[in-house]
Structure 1
Amino acid sequence: MDAHRRPLMDRTLPLLTEGYAWLPNRMRDSADAVLRTRLLGRPALAVRGPEAVRFFYDEGHVHRHGATPAPVLDTLFGQGAVHTLDGDAHRVRKELFLPLLDPDRVTGLTEHVTAAWDEAVRSWSELSRVVLFDAVGVVLTRGVCRWAGLPRQAVDAEPLARDLIAMVDGFATPGPRHLRARRARARQQARMARLIEDVRRGKVSAPADSVLDRVCRHHDDPGEPLDAGTAAVELLNVLRPTVAVSWFVAFAAHALHRWPAHRERLRAGDGAFATAFAHEVRRFYPFAPFLGGRTVTELTWHGESVPAGGILLLDVYGQNHDEKLWGDPYAFRPQRFLERPADPDELIPQGGGDPATGHRCPGERITVGLLDSLAVRLARLEYTVPEQDLRIPLRRIPTRPRSGFAVTGVRAP
């Protein structure tokens, strides 16, 4: 039998046990960075590289509708989210988010978050121990809710932060983390839907052109506003990914602990280096293992094929650690992004493509802006790193330092 026609063994269970290494390990022996496999009962084709990014994001090749497993929708994105749409429907819904990429808006969010950070640091200095991952989640929640126009009486930052973190933490795993994520999604989606209904009825005011206002007024079809449930999904799709920057801040603290020489340059306020540091944190540390879409026709890449209705995978973690692209991929070296700018088809920690017209995360610019600002503040913060488990397990998706990066003796600059 032709090797290309042999039945493929389903590799879903190995994915659950191997985590981030699952796809790179299987692609290691492929000269063309392509792999045929089977996932979730469907034939799948995995690809990697800048040309593969453009191939993956061609809407004639891949649709998102029906591609995202229900457990991911019920935890991470929400049913009916922009991530599940294609074509004109996707472009219309994305108009809700694109104004958030305006530089003034990004600056505004950064100012709200850094103000929340400065407030929090004063309280951290009174505590015997602070787990940065958890504490930064609360900071980000306070900042993004103020920026998004949520009324203060509607926001209890600590439980909201726990729920937003839980939605991200439990999307890719069975068991208790997944159950917590489902409960968190249901709880906060119901709360945000009630808030949206209150705004529409005039019981609560939303600042003009705020995120809350835009969500309440958005129409996919002329004359038909989003139902309150879908509007709540999209409001959470602004809040949740902002709070997910907690992962990158914990990784930044880990990097500064392992390679403290970078601290002085960040402390000095070198903006270009801070951005390069943010890019390198996002490249070096694991976040999204891969992305997937449902093939709309039979596709062939470098001699390997997948039928219509199969799965096309983009190897995110593997590409961000590809020796052909990065030379020394397992060296943490922010300078690489000072030597040449980040190519959007090479550096894909939050996906690839064009954020204006395609499925690249529209919040990527926000992530970079927040991370480079918070990395500078983190570098200027005085603290002690006590003995703890700072391992970052690659079997856990999404992973993070086991201890959450605990610090003691925090002293404000």
Structure 2
Amino acid sequence: MSTIKKHKGLDNTLKVMKEGYLYTTNQRRRLGAENIFETRVLGGKRALVISGKKAAELFYDNDKTERSGTLPKRLVNTLFGKGAIHTTTGKKHIDRKALFMSLMTEGNLKHLRELTRNHWYMNTHRMEQMDQINIYRESIILLTKVGTKWAGVQAPEEKIEEIATDMDIMIDSFRGLGTAFKGYKESVAARRRVEDWLEDQIIQTRKGKIFPPEGTALYEFAHWEDYKGNPMDSRLCAIDLMNTFRPLIAINRFVSFGLLAMHEHPISKEKINNDPDYAYMFSQEVRRFYPFVPFLPGKAKTDIQFEGHDIEKDTMLVLDIYGTMHRDDVFENADEFHPERFLDWDGSPFDLIPQGGGDYYTNHRCAGEWMTIIIMEETMKYFAGKITYDVPEQDLTVDLNSIPGYIKSGFIIENVAEKVDRK
């Protein structure tokens, strides 16, 4: 049996942070390791980095791998929240995941599509009055309005920008990878403010002082009972409630990447306007091609084998998310932006994994993935067909060394005008 190749070093965390999304791919190539290599991170912990479709199948096999206790504590404190569903496993995870999935009704998803379409249209006048629009920033504000409205949460107009800013700070905390990064205290404070605000609404709903519509996230979470018949602790309930719409706000990254892709591939605008299926294919390719989540941690639940290597129970595993989606043996010509690849895609749960893999109900695949696609479809249709705009000179570099990845300029547009056929 061959030996697993190693990236030598007592602790390679700083190297991971320096190389960002490309660390895993770079190391595989340097070491000549096709699907697995060993490194040490987060204080010198031994970790096996696994890559490829078979790696995703292993990582999301509940009998072989688990996620509980593997996320860095600082990242839990800022991005997900203490006790969040992302940190659970087994029956508890399945029970609470069912609550999340109960929101994915045809009516709720249709409502989200309508909210997204209407909010962008109503936002046209605002953008027409602005000299320049930073799409990264503008979309996080708009998606905060969409997300809170969809969730049934009371978010006064004057509070939206504050909420959007706090959400962005929390999402951006991923860059610390659990280390004592400079913005940690700011991220914790941002989370506390949003949790306080949502917990108050949970309590007020339970007391019958506010009345969110039945079927909304606020209503369902406030009235939910676990498999033992117990309501969720109000603070934990606020944390999981936030996790129903926080991922929607993070879609602002995909929105800016989508406009960059349109700019670099202008024929895509015409295709989106003329082909009813193209916005879906385009949105899926944006999710595959551009950086979102670089990798995720887990650990071996039992002694297992992968690619002919024995892996002992409790060994830390790191699934290479970004690298897997950029492998030619997973997606043909993976370094090319080609939406048509999804025309005949088989819908595998183990190759397109920007928001997790496996089964929606029992695994850690994001319950909001369908919502991401809906929001992206409607947003891309809006920018392709409902307005005109100019793209001024700017730095459009996508920084793959930063986690999360960004367009350095945020993607700026100007001279926005409603597109009207007056013939």
TM-score by length of 2: 0.92
Residue 165 (structure 2) aligns with: 162
Residue 336 (structure 2) aligns with: 331
Residue 357 (structure 1) aligns with: 362
Name the aligned partner's letter for residue 233 of structure 1.
I
Does the 8 Å CA contact 2:140/2:250 hold for their aligned counterparts? Answer: yes
Does the 8 Å CA contact 2:7/2:37 hold for their aligned counterparts? Answer: no
Distance, in Å, in 1 between the alignment partners of 2:396 and 2:4 is 43
Matches within 5 A, 1:71-220: 71-153=74-156, 156-173=159-176, 175-220=181-226
Distance, in Å, in 2 between the alignment partners of 1:148 and 1:155 is 18
SS of 2:226's partner is: strand
Distance, in Å, in 2 between the alignment partners of 1:124 and 1:204 is 33
Unaligned runs of 5+ in 1: none
Residue 243 (structure 1) aligns with: 249
Does the 8 Å CA contact 1:63/1:86 hold for their aligned counterparts? Answer: yes
Q: In structure 2, which of residues 43, 53, 58 is the aligned counterpart of residue 55 of structure 1?
A: 58
1:249-270 deviation line (CA, Å, top 9, x unaligned)? 00001101111111111123x2
Does the 8 Å CA contact 1:325/1:346 hold for their aligned counterparts? Answer: yes
Distance 1:154 1:208, change over 3 A: farther
Q: Which sits farther off after the overlay, 76-85 or 151-160?
A: 151-160
Does the 8 Å CA contact 1:47/1:314 hold for their aligned counterparts? Answer: yes
Unaligned runs of 5+ in 2: none
Residue 304 (structure 2) aligns with: 299
Distance 1:226 1:77, change over 3 A: same
How much has 1:313 moved relative to structure 2?
Answer: 1.3
Name the aligned partner's letter for residue 303 of structure 1.
G
1:236-280 deviation line (CA, Å, top 9, x unaligned)? 101210111100000001101111111111123x23111000010
1:47-77 deviation line (CA, Å, top 9, x unaligned)? 2222221111112222222111111111111
Distance 1:252 1:163, change over 3 A: same
Residue 16 (structure 2) aligns with: 15
Residue 395 (structure 1) aligns with: 401
Residue 27 (structure 2) aligns with: 26
Does the 8 Å CA contact 2:6/2:37 hold for their aligned counterparts? Answer: no
Distance, in Å, in 1 between the alignment partners of 2:48 and 2:247 is 28
Distance, in Å, in 2 between the alignment partners of 1:58 and 1:386 is 47
Distance, in Å, in 1 between the alignment partners of 2:157 and 2:256 is 28
Name the aligned partner's letter for residue 39 of structure 1.
V
Q: Which sits farther off after the overlay, 102-111 or 243-252?
A: 102-111
1:122-141 deviation line (CA, Å, top 9, x unaligned)? 11101111111111111111
Q: How large is the Cα RMSD of the aligned pairs?
A: 2.0
How much has 1:299 moved relative to structure 2?
Answer: 3.0
Distance 1:62 1:117, change over 3 A: same
Q: Which sits farther off after the overlay, 348-357 or 147-156?
A: 147-156
Does the 8 Å CA contact 2:396/2:411 hold for their aligned counterparts? Answer: yes
Distance, in Å, in 2 between the alignment partners of 1:6 and 1:180 is 36
Does the 8 Å CA contact 1:76/1:167 hold for their aligned counterparts? Answer: yes
Name the aligned partner's letter for residue 165 of structure 1.
D
Name the aligned partner's letter for residue 250 of structure 2.
A
Q: In structure 1, which of residues 35, 39, 42 is the aligned counterpart of residue 41 of structure 2?
A: 39
Aligned positions, number: 411
Distance, in Å, in 1 between the alignment partners of 2:317 and 2:363 is 16
Residue 312 (structure 1) aligns with: 317
How much has 1:352 moved relative to structure 2?
Answer: 0.8
Does the 8 Å CA contact 1:34/1:304 hold for their aligned counterparts? Answer: no
SS of 2:399's partner is: coil
Distance, in Å, in 1 between the alignment partners of 2:378 and 2:205 is 33
Distance 1:32 1:366, change over 3 A: same
SS of 2:330's partner is: helix
Match status 1:321 vs 2:322: no
SS of 1:46's partner is: strand
How much has 1:103 moved relative to structure 2?
Answer: 2.9
Q: Which sits farther off after the overlay, 341-350 or 228-237?
A: 341-350
1:145-165 deviation line (CA, Å, top 9, x unaligned)? 111111344972111111112
Name the aligned partner's letter for residue 36 of structure 1.
E
Distance, in Å, in 1 between the alignment partners of 2:381 and 2:217 is 27
SS of 1:15's partner is: helix
Distance 1:4 1:349, change over 3 A: closer
Does the 8 Å CA contact 1:72/1:172 hold for their aligned counterparts? Answer: no
Residue 228 (structure 1) aligns with: 234
Residue 265 (structure 1) aligns with: 271
Does the 8 Å CA contact 2:140/2:164 hold for their aligned counterparts? Answer: yes
Distance 1:108 1:390, change over 3 A: same
Distance, in Å, in 1 between the alignment partners of 2:137 and 2:251 is 11
Does the 8 Å CA contact 2:7/2:39 hold for their aligned counterparts? Answer: no
Residue 373 (structure 1) aligns with: 378
Name the aligned partner's letter for residue 175 of structure 2.
A
Does the 8 Å CA contact 1:140/1:243 hold for their aligned counterparts? Answer: yes
Distance 1:176 1:389, change over 3 A: farther
